[in-house]
Amino acid sequence: MSAEVKVPTLGESVTEATVGQWLKQPGDPVKLDEPIASLETDKVAVEVPSPVNGVMGQQLVKEGDTVSVGAVLATIEDGVAAAGNTPVTPREEAAQPPASDSIAPKTVPAAAPEAAPAPAPAPTPAQAPAAAPAPAAAFDAAALSPAVRRAVLEHGIDPATVKGTGKDGRLTKEDVLSAAQAKPAAPAAAPEEAAPAPAAAPAPGRAEERVRMTRLRQTIAKRLKSAQDTAALLTTFNDVDMSAVIAAREKYRDSFEKKHGVRLGFMGFFAKAACLALKDVPSVNAQIDGEEIVYHDYVDISVAVSAPNGLVVPVVRDADKLGFAGIEKAIGAFGKKAKDGTLTMDDMKGGTFTISNGGVFGSLMSTPIINPPQSAVLGLHRIEDRPVVVDGQIVIRPMMYIALSYDHRLIDGREAVTALKIIKDAIEDPTRILIDL
């Protein structure tokens, strides 16, 4: 008897998704609630759990297919292999020959002939093929995403030799890149494993690869283009002396982390400074809805976070009511969830204003695009020592360019410049944040 695995409810107004990756293959044992597939929606990746214990049956759709809520993805067949006996050593020993049959075609073609003589009492040479399934098991457990698979192929890394830091020990692209950098020169192994390389050798540097855009990337592209087509975008700039904030962080960093269990970062200062500006200039925190303007008496700040499949913007709700610790904890939690691919639709729903920090990647200056239906976005950039004039003297100060992109249909230039100036003043004199000035 088999059980059907269906596409779960994906969130408000989300009716379909793309099959991003199969985490289990036909014949693999599965447990109740164990993820068997990953679906990509417009905003997040959703893992589909198994409804029962059993063995992975037929996959009814392929990776890259679009499926609707309620559609049947696969079947789970009855099987003692997944009835909770997986950890038992005797079972593993007994099941080792069949495991070679299922795994060998994927990784070690030579293992297939070894399956027949496997029942021999104790052949010493059989230990060599027996060792092969271990890397294969690690490979399956890693549940490689398309980006990780490309990195593995490009850098010639054996995924079985790399320890994953993602959710459930899965490999991330960063894990593969780190392994590639730490990988010693191995001229002896390279000629053997690079045997297929001659196919690409005739045209070095001119290889092409076509990769289907993920649903998240497609949505990002549509929304950003829609913002350019719909909003009257304009950007105003200013620069900020970061001396006071840097001094405050240095002075209170250890005691802050000891008390709150989270590091004191720059984002907390900018989030609180933005709250001051949005309260004083309400239009920057508003949005256009048809022929009406919607003003918000709360501040929900969308914080741009880099995820494996693209940029996502989870929302720190009621940021104006949170302290520094609350904001830093929320941002830290979102960053971890983005890396693990566990952000939910609720995490990114809403938001009245966005902060994007391109400085972590080394950006000196940029013109960020608003996140519809919001009307403004604050762009942060890298901090660098520059000569500035203070009290008639040329001094070296840690400076940062900040940018505010806004929808000119709703926000006038005077309001945008005023809001950015409030943020600048609050960062240069953080006491203003404490006394709400």
Residue 412 has pLDDT above 90, yes or no: yes
pLDDT of residue 199: 52
Query: Of the candidates 385, 328, 337, 383, which has an alpha carbon nearest to the alpha carbon of residue 357?
Result: 383
Which tokens hold the place of 33? 């609630």
* 278 vs 309, higher pLDDT: 278
pLDDT of residue 197: 53
pLDDT of residue 18: 82
pLDDT of residue 374: 92
pLDDT per residue over 217-261, tens digit each? 777 788 778 888 888 999 999 999 999 999 999 999 999 999 999
Ordered structural domains, the chain, with CATH: 2-199 (2.40.50.100), 219-434 (3.30.559.10)
What are the C-alpha distances in Å from 223 to residues 211, 217, 230?
Answer: 21, 10, 10
* Burial of residue 420 (number of CB atoms within 10 Å: 0-12, 13-18, 19+): buried
pLDDT of residue 42: 64
Residue 28 has pLDDT above 80, yes or no: yes
pLDDT of residue 13: 60
Residue 114 has pLDDT above 70, yes or no: no
Average pLDDT over residues 109-132: 45
User: Are 46 and 28 a contacting pair, CB within 8 Å?
Assistant: no
Question: How sure is the predictor about 92, in pLDDT bands with cuts at 50, 70 and 90?
Answer: very low
pLDDT per residue over 290-349, tens digit each? 899 999 999 999 998 877 666 788 999 999 999 999 999 999 898 888 888 788 778 888
Rounded-to-integer distance, Cα 83 and Cα 75, Å: 16
Residue 356 has pLDDT above 60, yes or no: yes
Query: Of the candidates 242, 284, 285, 238, which has an alpha carbon nearest to the alpha carbon of residue 266?
Result: 242
pLDDT of residue 388: 94
- Helix, strand or coil, per DSSP, at residue 106: helix
> Which are the catalytic amino acids?
408, 412
Residue 270 has pLDDT above 50, yes or no: yes
* 61 vs 408, higher pLDDT: 408
Residue 86 has pLDDT above 50, yes or no: no
Mean pLDDT, rounded, of the chain: 78
Lowest mean pLDDT across 198-212, 297-311, 323-337, 388-402:
198-212
